[in-house]
């Protein structure tokens, strides 16, 4: 069953841990149960197969919310289904904002939990694919020369070759060669495709084009006015 | 006897008699010794010798044949104080010898003391021839001697004569008898040996003090005779020669022991009385029936305000100092004394002092022995006494007024439990209980009527009786108890037993109705209990979330288990072994949920407090289970440092749990602002021989010094929510357990609450 997804379960209540574990196992998943957040944090390594975390919020020592934060800090983000005995609104909001898949109040129906687990695993599968793609794009970008990189960053902003040549102080023909090499290295056929990859690579988060993004984001604000 | 007394004319030196043959006799006299002290002229003319020579004795002129008999006769006569008559021949200066008859008679002073001899010498040369005629004279002389001797011997007084060296020359029968010796044993012996060495010197000195000028003196001194102390009185007379030298002494003594003892006793009693008199403790006087105070001590003078000078001048008169209305008292007393009573019955009267002030006095008078109109008297100042009596009377009146005005039932009992005083309230109260047949007031035995009078059960009566006995025997300094009176409506009384500060012991017992107080106490207790309950419920209300969580856990587990089982049943071929485990888990979780409910219910219930021996460690564990979730929610760590062997305390489980719960929640709340790692409550237990302590320590902000004193007051709170009764209720609960609740700020962070409870001691240990 090494291929079956793994559901990690953390709850300080032994009784809950045992029964919920049984339930999830009944759903056909491998269950790794832990009595405390600290124990889990110490042992957790991301497995090959999809996984998710069913996490109790109220625990002595490290609480569920804190564990979520720690995982995020460690970039070990995996889908989390919170289970809690008392679901107060601020905690729920904080948990969901931090990317929780679901928030179940004890006691819960088995179908709700298994549904949430399924969703979480699916989410993990997507995230896993996304992570893979981004790694590939990063590899492609890394293969670009610095000039090609410069050209790429300007191309995706929608500049014409002539404008780019002006900006970089070279001739349009040279830019055209660089651009062709970039398209090839990035394994794209169209500009639209290139732009999507550049965005996936997060090139828009920082860099000289940030100002442009700000301008574009003003638009919906203006329309709202 | 034809003696012729001399004319008394003394002869001088050198005078001579012209004729011895004449009719005139020779007259001589002697001292107590045998030497002549005088002669008349006739003797000189007869003897023809000067006086000095004659005093050496006339033996030279005596006829040698008569010499010895003459000397013996004289000596014997002198020793025996006997008259003598001797005839002998004396040489006639004219030649030849002449017969003379020498007669001597002892002479005695007016007091009967021997003074010597008076004698005469008569020429009997012619008469010798007429012996027949003289024969009768001799017979007479013998008779006289016998008579005299009898007189002396029959004397009861002790008579002796002795020479200056102490040699006895004479002792009478009485003397011999007194000393238990025969005359033969005494004669020739030394007087001084008979006198004890102690007095010998004194006696000797006394004898030596006698002189020719003062030949007689009397002395009294103690002697020891046959080992018995006696007093003697001796009157001694000395006999002296011309030159003033002592010749012989005569001592007449008598035993005066009895008189002396009487005198001694009298003197002693006089001294004693005088010392009492002069001690001035009691005013004393010598009085007479005329109204005179003949003597008085300073105390008396001070009492009546007169000076000693005035006393001497006779200004102090008891009759005049007595006011008219008291005169009859004096008269009565005088009458008693006149009727022969030695002591008048003491009586109280007044004296008017010199300054006019009246003084109450107690008079006791006695007469001198043998008198009815004079004697001694004492006069005791009764002012202070009267004052005291008056004060006592007032105080007694006040006390009885107070006692009778008390609404409480009061009875004073003596050592044996007999009632010696009661107030009206007691009589009415006790009579109601005891009925008419038993006496319940003065004279009755309290211990006997107690049961009926109190109208209460056997146990209460026994407790009351043993309390009273303990106070009566000094076993307890006081005793008090409350009891319920079997009446309708029910009445509560408080009985107090105080020892009576009285030399004979006893106790004061009071019963005060305290029904209202008891009711108020019960009401207050009820209120407090209700408030404690409200606080408990409120607190649990605040803990709802965590309690829900406590219930949620088992419920979650049960639900999940059940659903897991359902899935197993629909899928697996042989799910039974797992199903068995699941069911066991479900049962366990059901019980767990039940326990939560049970704990909650016990805290929510409004039951009567029930005290039982409790282990504080177990109590803390149970409490922690209740707020386990709360602590998780509050992100507060709980650290336990429980002493493994703490003694049990006696208490109500729910109330003590409430206190511990409240203190832990307070501790958690105090740390809301603290960073997570610091949020910690440390619970510890400790104990000594007397107390068990529960300590709740937090690391929060500590107590605000401004509110330090206020935290235990009701409705004081620094929180936005809550009633502010938590700590107040806590303290009330702990105090109802005879314990203490203390709060101190820690040196570093937060504060510590200590619950101190007395160690539960098994009955009889």
- HEC-encoded secondary structure of B164-175: CCCEEEEECHHH
B85-101: average pLDDT:
77
Nearest to A58 among B558, B559, B632 (CB): B632
B561/A contact by beta carbon, under 8 A: yes
Please, which residues have CB within 8 angstroms of residue B459's CB and are 6 or more apart in sequence? none
B95-120: average pLDDT:
78
Verify whether the Cβ–Cβ distance A106 to B553 is below 8 Å: yes
Nearest-CA distance A48 → chain B (Å): 27
A160: in domain: yes
Residue A123 belongs to domain with CATH number: 3.40.50.2300
Pick the last residue of a domain from A132, A167, A199. A132
Percent of chain A with pLDDT over 90: 22
Nearest to B592 by CA among B552, B562, B537: B552
In chain B, count of helices (H) and strands (E)? 24, 27
Same domain? For A118 and A29 the reply is yes
> For position B736, what pLDDT does the model report?
86
Pick the last residue of a domain from A132, A165, A191. A132
Nearest to B474 by CA among B498, B450, B494: B498
Nearest-CA distance A26 → chain B (Å): 6
Q: List the 7-26 stretch of A: residues with Cβ below 8 A of B.
A: 12-13, 15-16, 18-20, 22-23, 25-26
Q: Beta partners for B479? A: B497
Nearest-CA distance B635 → chain A (Å): 7
Residues of B in contact with A25 (CB under 8 A): 564
Instruction: Using the predicted structure, report yes or no on whether residue B220 has a pLDDT greater than 70.
Output: yes
A109: in domain: yes
Same domain? For A21 and A128 the reply is yes
Verify whether the Cβ–Cβ distance A26 to B571 is below 8 Å: yes
Residues of A in contact with B545 (CB under 8 A): 86, 88
A107: in domain: yes
Task: Identify the weakest region by mean pLDDT among A56-70, A184-198, A204-218, B259-273.
Answer: A204-218
Same domain? For A183 and A101 the reply is no
Verify whether the Cβ–Cβ distance B556 to A12 is below 8 Å: no
In chain A, count of helices (H) and strands (E)? 10, 5
| Spatial separation of the C-alpha atoms in residues B618 and B412, rounded to whole Å | 53
| Spatial separation of the C-alpha atoms in residues B123 and B23, rounded to whole Å | 8
Verify whether the Cβ–Cβ distance A110 to B592 is below 8 Å: no
β-pairing verdict for A80-84 and A51-56: parallel
Nearest to B567 among A12, A13, A26 (CB): A26
CA B593 to chain centre: 82
| Spatial separation of the C-alpha atoms in residues B256 and A114, rounded to whole Å | 146
A167: in domain: yes
> For position A220, what pLDDT does the model report?
39
| Spatial separation of the C-alpha atoms in residues B468 and B479, rounded to whole Å | 7
Residues of B in contact with A13 (CB under 8 A): 553, 557
A200: in domain: yes
Residue written as token pair 């009891």: B483
> For position A196, what pLDDT does the model report?
85
Cβ pair B87, B71 in contact under 8 A: no
Same domain? For A61 and A37 the reply is yes
Phi, psi of A47 (to 5 degrees): -85, 170
A87/B contact by beta carbon, under 8 A: no
> For position B647, what pLDDT does the model report?
92
Verify whether the Cβ–Cβ distance A85 to B568 is below 8 Å: no
Return the residue of A nearest to B579 by Cα: A22
Nearest-CA distance B581 → chain A (Å): 10
Nearest to B561 among A19, A27, A108 (CB): A19
Phi, psi of B529 (to 5 degrees): -65, -40
A36: in domain: yes
Q: Beta partners for B90? A: B62, B98
Instruction: Using the predicted structure, report yes or no on whether residue A209 has a pLDDT greater than 50.
Output: no
Nearest to A26 among B548, B549, B568 (CB): B568
Cβ contacts below 8 Å, chain A against chain B, sum to: 91
Same domain? For A127 and A148 the reply is no
Residues of B in contact with A106 (CB under 8 A): 552-553, 555-556
Instruction: Using the predicted structure, report yes or no on whether residue B104 has a pLDDT greater than 50.
Output: yes
> For position B47, what pLDDT does the model report?
59
B181-189: average pLDDT:
81
DSSP string covering B497-558, please?
Answer: EEE--STT--EEEEEEE-HHHHHHHHHHHHHHHHHHHHHHHHHHHHTHHHHHHHHHHHHHHH
Nearest to B509 by CA among B435, B434, B440: B440
Verify whether the Cβ–Cβ distance B557 to A108 is below 8 Å: no
Nearest-CA distance B572 → chain A (Å): 10
| Spatial separation of the C-alpha atoms in residues B443 and B633, rounded to whole Å | 76
pLDDT, tens digit, 9 for 90 and up, residues A84-136: 877 677 777 887 877 788 888 888 898 999 999 999 999 988 888 888 888 88
Please, which residues have CB within 8 angstroms of residue B238's CB and are 6 or more apart in sequence? B207, B210, B211, B212, B215, B216, B246, B248, B249
Q: Which of A210-219, B534-543, B619-628 has the highest mean pLDDT?
A: B619-628
Which residue would you say has higher pLDDT here, A214 or B471? B471
Nearest-CA distance A128 → chain B (Å): 30
A138: in domain: no
Nearest-CA distance A50 → chain B (Å): 23
ipTM of the complex: 0.72
> For position A207, what pLDDT does the model report?
46
> For position B591, what pLDDT does the model report?
92
Average pLDDT, chain A: 82
Q: List the 637-656 stretch of B: residues with Cβ below 8 A of A.
A: 637
A224: in domain: no
Q: ∠ at Cα A101 (A100, A105), nearest 5°?
A: 85
Q: Which of B182-186, B486-490, B565-569 has the highest mean pLDDT?
A: B565-569
Cβ pair B328, B373 in contact under 8 A: no
Dihedral of CA atoms A62, A65, A70, A71 in degrees, nearest 10, equals 120
β-pairing verdict for B680-687 and B691-697: antiparallel
Same domain? For A90 and A185 the reply is no
Nearest-CA distance A10 → chain B (Å): 14
Residue B80: count other Cβ atoms within 10 Å of its Cβ: 17
A158/B contact by beta carbon, under 8 A: no
| Spatial separation of the C-alpha atoms in residues B99 and B123, rounded to whole Å | 6
Phi, psi of B314 (to 5 degrees): 80, 20
Nearest to A63 among B558, B571, B635 (CB): B635
Residues of B in contact with A107 (CB under 8 A): 552, 555-556, 558-560
Same domain? For A114 and A24 the reply is yes
Same domain? For A161 and A106 the reply is no
Same domain? For A72 and A121 the reply is yes
* Interface test mutation site (partner B, options A15, A59, A91, A105, max chain B beta carbons within 10 A): A15
pTM of the predicted protein model:
0.48
CA distances for B360 relative to B348, B363, B375, B383, B387, angstroms? 7, 10, 22, 6, 10
B588/A contact by beta carbon, under 8 A: yes
Nearest to A15 among B546, B568, B585 (CB): B585
Cβ pair B202, B221 in contact under 8 A: yes
Same domain? For A171 and A75 the reply is no
Q: Beta partners for B682? A: B639, B697
Instruction: Using the predicted structure, report yes or no on whether residue B696 has a pLDDT greater than 80.
Output: yes
Which residue would you say has higher pLDDT here, B37 or B86? B86
| Spatial separation of the C-alpha atoms in residues B100 and B60, rounded to whole Å | 15
Nearest-CA distance A68 → chain B (Å): 16
Same domain? For A107 and A155 the reply is no
Buried b (16+ CB within 10 A) or exposed e, B216-236: eeebebebebeeeebbbbbbb
Residue A177 belongs to domain with CATH number: 1.10.10.10
Please, which residues have CB within 8 angstroms of residue B204's CB and are 6 or more apart in sequence? B192
Residue range of the domain that includes A149:
143-215
Instruction: Using the predicted structure, report yes or no on whether residue B28 has a pLDDT greater than 90.
Output: no
Dihedral of CA atoms B80, B86, B88, B93 in degrees, nearest 10, equals 90
Cβ pair B91, B59 in contact under 8 A: no
Q: In terms of C-beta distances under 8 Å and separation of at least 24 residues, what long-range contacts does B738-746 make, across chains too?
A: B739/B649, B739/B691, B741/B659, B741/B712, B743/B703, B743/B708, B743/B711, B743/B712, B745/B702, B745/B703, B745/B705, B746/B697, B746/B699, B746/B702
Specify the number of domains making up chain A: 2
Half-sphere CA count of B129, side-chain side, radius 13 A: 3
> For position B757, what pLDDT does the model report?
93
With H, G, I as helix, E, B as strand and everything else as coil, classify residue B183.
helix
A28/B contact by beta carbon, under 8 A: no
Pick the last residue of a domain from A132, A155, A182. A132
Same domain? For A107 and A151 the reply is no
A92/B contact by beta carbon, under 8 A: no
| Spatial separation of the C-alpha atoms in residues B751 and B699, rounded to whole Å | 7
- As given in the structure block, the two tokens for residue B492 are 């509560």
| Spatial separation of the C-alpha atoms in residues B185 and B182, rounded to whole Å | 5
């Amino acid at each position: 069953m090494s291929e079956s997804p793994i559901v990690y379960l953390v709850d300080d209540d032994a009784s809950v841990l045992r029964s919920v574990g049984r339930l999830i196992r009944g759903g056909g998943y491998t269950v790794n149960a832990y009595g405390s957040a600290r124990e889990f944090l110490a042992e957790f390594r991301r497995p090959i197969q999809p996984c998710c975390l069913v996490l109790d919020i109220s625990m002595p020592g490290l609480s569920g919310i804190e564990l979520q934060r720690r995982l995020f800090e460690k970039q070990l983000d995996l889908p989390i289904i919170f289970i809690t005995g008392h679901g107060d609104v601020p905690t729920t909001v904080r948990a969901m904002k931090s990317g929780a898949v679901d928030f179940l109040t004890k006691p819960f129906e088995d179908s709700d939990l298994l549904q949430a687990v399924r969703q979480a695993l699916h989410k993990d599968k997507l995230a896993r694919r996304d992570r893979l793609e981004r790694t590939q794009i990063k590899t492609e970008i890394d293969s670009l020369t610095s000039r090609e990189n410069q050209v790429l960053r300007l191309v995706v902003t929608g500049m014409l070759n002539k404008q780019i040549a002006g900006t970089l102080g070279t001739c349009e023909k040279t830019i055209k060669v660089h651009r062709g090499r970039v398209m090839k290295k990035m394994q794209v056929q169209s500009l639209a495709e290139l732009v999507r990859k550049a965005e996936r690579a997060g090139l828009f988060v920082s860099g000289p084009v940030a100002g442009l993004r700000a301008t574009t984001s003003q638009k919906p604000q203006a329309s709202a006015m | 006897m034809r003696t012729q007394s001399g004319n008394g004319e003394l002869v001088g030196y050198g005078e001579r008699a012209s004729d011895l043959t004449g009719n005139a006799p020779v007259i001589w006299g002697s001292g107590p010794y045998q030497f002549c002290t005088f002669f008349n002229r006739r003797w000189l003319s007869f003897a023809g010798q000067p006086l000095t020579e004659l005093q050496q004795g006339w033996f030279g002129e005596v006829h040698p044949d008569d010499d010895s008999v003459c000397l013996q006769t004289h000596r014997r006569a002198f020793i025996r104080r006997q008259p003598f008559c001797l005839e002998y021949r004396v040489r006639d200066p004219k030649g030849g010898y002449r017969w003379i008859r020498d007669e001597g008679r002892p002479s005695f002073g007016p007091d009967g003391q021997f003074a010597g001899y008076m004698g005469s010498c008569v020429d009997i040369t012619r008469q010798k021839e007429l012996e027949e005629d003289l024969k009768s004279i001799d017979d007479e002389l013998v008779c006289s001697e016998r008579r005299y001797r009898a007189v002396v011997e029959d004397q009861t007084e002790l008579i002796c004569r002795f020479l200056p060296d102490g040699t006895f020359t004479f002792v009478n029968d009485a003397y011999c008898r007194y000393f238990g010796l025969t005359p033969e044993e005494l004669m020739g012996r030394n007087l001084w040996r008979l006198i004890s060495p102690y007095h010998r010197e004194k006696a000797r000195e006394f004898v030596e003090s006698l002189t020719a000028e003062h030949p007689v003196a009397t002395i009294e001194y103690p002697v020891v005779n046959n080992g018995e102390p006696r007093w003697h009185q001796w009157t001694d007379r000395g006999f002296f020669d011309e030159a003033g030298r002592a010749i012989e002494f005569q001592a007449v003594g008598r035993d005066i022991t009895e008189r002396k003892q009487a005198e001694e006793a009298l003197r002693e009693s006089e001294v004693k009385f005088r010392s009492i008199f002069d001690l001035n403790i009691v005013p004393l006087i010598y009085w007479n029936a005329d109204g005179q105070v003949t003597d008085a001590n300073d105390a008396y003078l001070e009492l009546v305000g007169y000076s000693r000078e005035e006393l001497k001048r006779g200004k102090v008169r008891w009759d005049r100092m007595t006011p008219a209305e008291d005169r009859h008292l004096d008269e009565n007393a005088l009458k008693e004394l006149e009727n022969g009573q030695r002591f008048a019955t003491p009586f109280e009267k007044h004296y008017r002092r010199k300054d006019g002030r009246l003084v109450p006095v107690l008079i006791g008078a006695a007469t001198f022995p043998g008198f009815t109109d004079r004697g001694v008297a004492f006069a005791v100042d009764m002012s202070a006494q009267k004052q005291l009596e008056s004060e006592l009377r007032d105080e007694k009146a006040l006390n009885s007024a107070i006692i009778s005005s008390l609404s409480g039932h009061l009875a004073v009992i003596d050592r044996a439990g007999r009632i010696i005083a009661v107030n009206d309230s007691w009589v009415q109260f006790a009579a109601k209980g005891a009925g008419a047949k038993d006496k319940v007031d003065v004279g009755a035995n309290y211990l006997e009527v107690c049961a009926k009078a109190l109208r209460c059960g056997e146990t209460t009566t026994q407790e009351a009786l043993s309390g009273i006995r303990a106070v009566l025997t000094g076993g307890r300094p006081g005793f008090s108890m409350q009891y319920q009176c079997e009446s309708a409506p029910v009445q509560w009384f408080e009985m107090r037993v105080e020892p009576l500060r009285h030399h004979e012991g006893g106790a004061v017992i009071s019963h005060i109705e305290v029904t209202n107080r008891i009711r108020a106490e019960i009401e207050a207790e009820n209120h407090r209990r209700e408030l404690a309950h409200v606080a408990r419920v409120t607190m649990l209300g605040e803990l709802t979330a965590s309690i829900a969580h406590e219930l949620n856990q088992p419920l979650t587990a049960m639900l999940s288990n059940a659903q897991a089982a359902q899935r197993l049943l629909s899928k697996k071929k042989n799910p039974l072994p797992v199903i068995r485990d699941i069911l066991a888990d479900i049962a366990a979780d059901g019980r767990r949920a039940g326990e939560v409910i049970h704990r909650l219910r016990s805290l929510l219930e409004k039951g009567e407090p029930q005290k039982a021996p409790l282990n504080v460690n177990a109590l803390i564990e149970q409490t922690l289970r209740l707020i386990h979730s709360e602590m998780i929610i509050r992100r507060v760590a709980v650290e336990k440092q429980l002493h493994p062997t703490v003694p049990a305390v006696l208490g109500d489980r729910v109330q003590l749990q409430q206190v511990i719960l409240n203190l832990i929640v307070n501790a958690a709340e105090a740390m809301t602002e603290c960073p997570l790692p610091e949020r910690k409550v440390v619970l510890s237990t400790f104990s000594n021989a007397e107390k068990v302590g529960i300590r709740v320590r937090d690391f929060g902000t500590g107590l605000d010094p401004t509110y330090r004193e206020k935290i235990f007051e009701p409705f004081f709170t620094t929180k936005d929510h809550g009633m502010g009764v938590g700590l107040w209720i806590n303290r009330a609960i702990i105090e109802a357990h005879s314990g203490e609740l203390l709060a101190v700020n820690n040196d570093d962070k937060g504060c510590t609450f200590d619950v101190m409870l007395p160690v539960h001691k098994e009955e009889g240990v």
